[in-house]
Structure 1
Amino acid sequence: MPLDLSGALQRLRDGRSTSLELMRESLAAARSDACQQVFVREFFDTALASAEAADLLRRSGLPGSPLQGLAISVKDLFDVAGQPTTGGSASLLDAPIAAADAACVARLRQAGAAFIGHSNLSEFAFSGVGINPHHGTPLNPVTRALDGKTRIPGGSTSGGAVSVACGAAWAALGSDTGGSIRIPAALQGLVGFKNTARLTPNEGCMPLSTSLDTSCAVTRSVRDAALLHELLSGQVLPPAGRPLARWRLGVVRELMQDALEPAVARAFERALQRLRAAGAQIEELSLAPLQELPALQAQGGLPAAESWAWHRQRLLTREAAYDPRVALRIKRGATISAADYIDLLQARRRWIAAMQAALQGVDTLLSPTVPMTAPELAPLLTSDDAFFATNTLLLRNTSVVNLLDGCALSLPCHEAGELPVGLMLWNSALRDADLLAIAAQIEPLVSPSIGGH
């Protein structure tokens, strides 16, 4: 894995690199074959100018910004001042220019980020696969380097994750409504952190499901995830306290380990063995509330109801410009009445309370992020049945955390030379600091490589 963001920042502080040198390397990667179809629109010239400004500040002896002019990609859901925001859709190609940055974009810009472009995504962020029929689909560069096959990147933050995996960006600002940060991270051997939704602002970000949407980032390491979370949330994480052996870790067998691909099952069990060998206390847990998930997700659940509210007028006149698979999922919301929606919100609150009661005393749960390695792209382009079956499996484990209003982090747990597999650490709301602290201790035990460490 390439150098991570924290390592690059240390090089800048030590005077071993300049922001402009690192930006030129990022842009060379962004123009490479591995990064094709990653950007809906490019901000390369302004990114170079931001890097030059960061170098000027350091030469002048002024305090450097936290991100020091390094390259960050932005999912094409977030407003960037002076640019349109189109959600990866042909139906919004006439979108107006944004007058101001989205709140998370503004926080990263204030921290010195150099934005290199709006990254590609599943249209309107409504898929865990990462296919986009309007702008093309970014290909998974990590798996292609391993076996030469054309595999999916994972979605919906497909372009953002590829921008990090191929070295074009040090981190990718994206969103996670049902797994859209963690799925592409898992399939590409990256780190994806979905924080408790209320900790980061969604203003200026195109919604999918207002109850579930979370603004967060894909990075190359856990320490980078912690840095981005601090910048996006405006919070300072406390120093790690307890050693790994003093955290209570749980493994859930129901649902989260059903129908695992053999490679995923092997990697997950190997990770658990390594953690136990390092002194981790891991216990098997039963979570009866997981049995209620099918009822909560019937009729498309909250994403269908809330996306229909946002898209229903546009679909009347522009449905032909939508990805038909996305339009189909949005239109499921048309059958959900106001009473059904209110009942669903109340049922979710009861379910969260039951889950929180079941998780009392547990510091983090461990699960495979997704039950498969990255599947090949071609069958999913031509078969709706294959696409929707794959999409459902990709979202199965990750979407539990969004419904829980919780936090989760996916980190790689495969061996070098194997197709990427993600290990998901997760818990209920506002356990973010503990989860990041635990992940930092687990990462060197299970990850194939850690950039810059």
Structure 2
Amino acid sequence: MSAARPTLVSLADDLASGRTTSRKLVEECLTRIADPDGEGQRTFIHVDKDAALAAADAMDGLRKANAAPSRFAGIPVSVKDLFDIKGQVTRAGSRALEDSAPADADAPVVARLRRAGFVVIGRTNMTEFAYSGIGINPHYGTPKSAWKREVGHVPGGSSSGAAVSIADRMAYGALGTDTGGSCRIPAAFNGIVGYKPTQRRVPLDGGVPLSTTLDSFGPLANTVECCAILDAVLADEPIKPLQPRAVKGLRLAVPTTVVLDQLDAEVAQTFDRALETLSKLGALVERIEFPEFLDVGIIGMKGGFAAAESYAWHRFLITSKGDVYDPRVSVRIMRGEAITVPEYIEMLAGRRSLVARAAARIAPYDALVMPTTANAPPRIADLANDEAFGRENIRALRNCTMINMMDGCAISLPAHPAGEVPVGLMLAQSGGQDRKLFEIAAGIEGVIRG
């Protein structure tokens, strides 16, 4: 990792040696956020300047007293606007919640980050109520992807600001959510790493839900190891050194069902190049049919769990304040109104079967490998038309959604050489295989970018 993209480990070493301080790190991030020529005003909905500086000073003091809560204490992180932070209003990227009461407690995941000494620098922008994989927000603006910023490409959603905050060094770790790819898609579109954990490992309290069945809370950061560190904190597990697995001998399955259909040329080229590299290094890459992925479309035919469960949460709010919702969000929520109780129960049964069958199919392999998204980051200007937006949104979400539906864990790694169109390579496993997946990803991370 170049000096332009410091890691949590390198920052921790700098803090321990006295080469930097938490106050300096926070001040540098605040300066980038405030840069009028940058994306800070669209990346953050709220910046905790005074609180972040006070926390930084406190961490510096604790480190001098040899009492820092962890070696990462004092490193600034961003938090998606979906999470409760004590004393702040949780808007979820919407105007409909602006008059809500401030949260009376941190969400457990926010509390765990603070307990480890991370400094929360602010709340990041997002797709309203997390309901899109594109990242456009008509209320608070849309931060541009780090790719060819002068052109203006979408950042990916729904954790749009989270990814841009990392890409632009406004924070060094970001807390996001992932219901159908919302940590992985923006990571892919911005050339960073995004992780979707096994859902049951990280508590969902204190976050505005999209789909209680599919929601996961996960990190975005510069490297696999950075994400592994943050994931351990979020799951309240010990932080252990990450031992990369050798590529040679890995059994990697490439599903040929659905996820390779209609790829953008740049995505297909980069993906094939990565597979060729892995094969040359001794990985056993096998293309397999994965019929369970066909079931995902059937289960979600009427909008799926996201429509049904978001409508249950929004049904009163959208009745009173539907006029201030993004129409592209409200129309998707309202699909849930037509889903009946028997249909919802059938969806639950269908998913239980899918999870079991998918786990059996993936069992002989170390990981599934697929493109994170079918599309490269579309231009913001090209999505003014609702039809174009809908098409690209589905293409962004399609592959990632498969893993949420199979209750798995997954990570998106940048697979493109520097300067080329950003393309994510996704590695996935069934639920509970998170540590194994991190080790495999750490071994692959350094070799696939050419």
Q: TM-score normalized by structure 2?
A: 0.96
- Given that 1:130 and 1:158 are in contact with CA atoms closer than 8 Å, whether structure 2 keeps it comes out as yes
Q: 2:373·2:399 contact (CA, 8 Å) conserved in 1?
A: yes
Aligned partners of 1:359 and 1:61: how far apart in 2? 46
| 2:356 maps to 1:353 | yes
Q: Distance in 2 between matches of 1:212 and 1:431?
A: 17
- Which residue of the other structure, out of 305, 308, 312, is the alignment partner of 2:311? 308
More helix by share: 1
- How far off is 1:246 after superposition? 3.3
1:87 aligns with 2:92: yes
CA distance in 2, matches of 1:235, 1:283: 33
CA contact (8 A) 1:86 1:92 kept: yes
The match for 1:451 is none
Amino acid at match of 2:126: L
Post-superposition Cα deviations, 1:90-116, rounded to whole Å, max 9, x if no partner, equal 111101111100010000010111111
CA contact (8 A) 2:375 2:392 kept: no
Shift in Å at residue 40 of structure 1? 1.1
| Partner deviation per Cα, 1:163-214 (whole Å, 9 max, x = no partner) | 1111001011010000000000000001001000100011101100000000
Q: Which runs of structure 2 are paired with 1:136-175 in the superposition (5 Å)?
A: 136-144=141-149, 148-175=150-177
**Who is 1:181 aligned against?**
183
Alignment deviations for residues 336-357 of structure 1 (CA, whole Å, 9 cap, x no partner): 0111101110011011111112
- How many residue pairs match? The answer is 444
Match of 1:65 in 2: 70
- Once the two structures are superposed, what CA deviation does each residue of 1:20-53 show, in whole Å capped at 9, x if it has no partner? 1111111111112232311111101111111111
DSSP-derived class of the 2:413 partner: strand
Q: Does 1:43 align with 2:45?
A: no
Alignment correspondent of 1:219: 221
SS class of match (1:90): coil
**Do the aligned residues in 2 keep the contact of 1:238 with 1:433 (CA within 8 Å)?**
no
Does 1:376 find its partner at 2:373?
Answer: no
Letter in 2 for 1:321: V
Contact kept in structure 1, 2:409 and 2:428, CA below 8 Å: yes
Aligned partner of 2:198 among 196, 215, 238: 196
Give how far 1:14 is off: 2.1
Q: Structure 1 stretch 69-78 or stretch 236-245: which is displaced more?
A: 236-245
Deviates more, 1:242-251 or 1:35-44: 242-251
Q: 1:370 to 1:239 in 2, by over 3 A?
A: closer
Compute the displacement of 1:222 (Å): 0.4
> Aligned with 1:86: secondary structure?
coil
Q: Distance in 2 between matches of 1:98 and 1:210?
A: 20
In structure 1, the residue matched to 2:435 is: 433
- In the other structure, the counterpart of 1:113 is 118
C-alpha distance in 1, partners of 2:248/2:198? 25
Change (3 A) 1:299 1:340: same
Q: Is 1:10 aligned to residue 5 of structure 2? A: no
Match of 2:257 among 254, 258, 262: 254
1: distance between equivalents of 2:190 and 2:362?
30
Of 386, 401, 414, the match for 2:403: 401
Report how far residue 432 of structure 1 moved.
Answer: 0.6
Q: Distance in 1 between matches of 2:158 and 2:86?
A: 23
Aligned-pair Cα RMSD in Å: 1.3
AA aligned to 1:83 is Q
- Contact 2:26 2:121 survives alignment (8 Å): no
Choose from 247, 270, 275 the match for 1:272.
275
Matched residues in 1 for 2:244 and 2:151: separation? 43
Shift in CA distance, 112/241, structure 1 to aligned 2, threshold 3 Å:
closer
CA 241–77 in structure 1, closer or farther in 2 if over 3 Å, else same? closer
The TM-score with structure 1 as length reference comes to: 0.96
Cα pair 1:143 1:420 within 8 Å, conserved: no
Structure 1's unaligned 5+ residue stretches are 449-453
Tell me by how many angstroms 1:242 deviates. 5.0
Q: How many Å separate the matches in 1 of 2:410 and 2:148?
A: 24
Note the residue ranges of structure 2 that are not aligned, 5 or more in a row: none
In 1, the alpha carbon distance for the partners of 2:287 and 2:47 equals 47
Q: Return the letter of the residue paired with 1:168.
A: M
Corresponding residue number in structure 2 for 1:366: 369
The aligned amino acid for 1:225 is: C
Residue in 2 aligned with 1:339?
Answer: 342
* Residue identity in the other structure for 1:87: A
Percent sequence identity over aligned pairs: 43
* Equivalent in the alignment of 2:59: 54
* 1:427 positional shift: 1.4
* Equivalent residues of 2:78, 2:173 under 8 A apart: yes
- 1:182·1:410 contact (CA, 8 Å) conserved in 2? yes
Q: Tell me if structure 1 keeps the 8 A contact 2:94–2:128.
A: yes
Letter in 2 for 1:230: A
Q: Secondary structure at the match of 1:142?
A: coil
Distance 1:288 1:405 in 2: 16
Letter in 1 for 2:64: R
What are the superposed Cα offsets for residues 244-274 of structure 1, whole Å, 9 maximum, x if unpaired?
2233211112211111111111111111111
Aligned-pair distance for 1:70? 1.4
Deviation at 1:239, TM superposition (A): 5.6
Alignment of 1:133 with 2:138, yes or no, is: yes
| 8 Å CA contact 1:164, 1:171 repeated in 2 | yes
